Amino acid sequence: MSRNFYILSGTLLFFALASAAMTLVPSAFQPELPANGSLWRTVAMFLLLFGLISALIGVMSHLFEQVDRRSEESRQAARRKRRGPHE
């Protein structure tokens, strides 16, 4: 599950960098695109924000999956220990 958030985060961050680079391109090279640099900066800022939020969600879900897996492993080890070596 966290891998999907990492992929989403990487994609959003890539498009944020592309949007930020569009502010550096002169308006003559953008015939039918918005030439306003502040619009590109705003789009880049929101894409960066959403990319960082999705990365945070990916990290947190990975941590919770790891905690859940380790608690299940310790629960199974405790159960084996209680049953003894004869089973």
In the chain, % of residues over pLDDT 70: 89
On the CB side of 72, how many CA atoms lie within 13 Å of its CA?
Answer: 6
Question: Residue 35 has what pLDDT?
Answer: 65
Query: What pLDDT sits at residue 87?
Result: 56
- Give, rounded to a whole angstrom, the gap between the first and last alpha carbons of the chain: 36
Average model confidence (pLDDT) for the chain? 87
SS3 (DSSP) at 72: helix
Instruction: Domain ranges for the chain, please list them.
Output: 2-83
Residue pLDDT, tens place only, 28-53: 766 776 667 788 899 999 999 999 99
Query: pTM to 2 decimals?
Result: 0.75
52-80: burial string, b at 16+ Cβ within 10 Å, e else? eebbebbeebeeeeeeeeeeeeeeeeeee
Instruction: Quote the Cα angle for 57-62-65, to 5°.
Output: 125
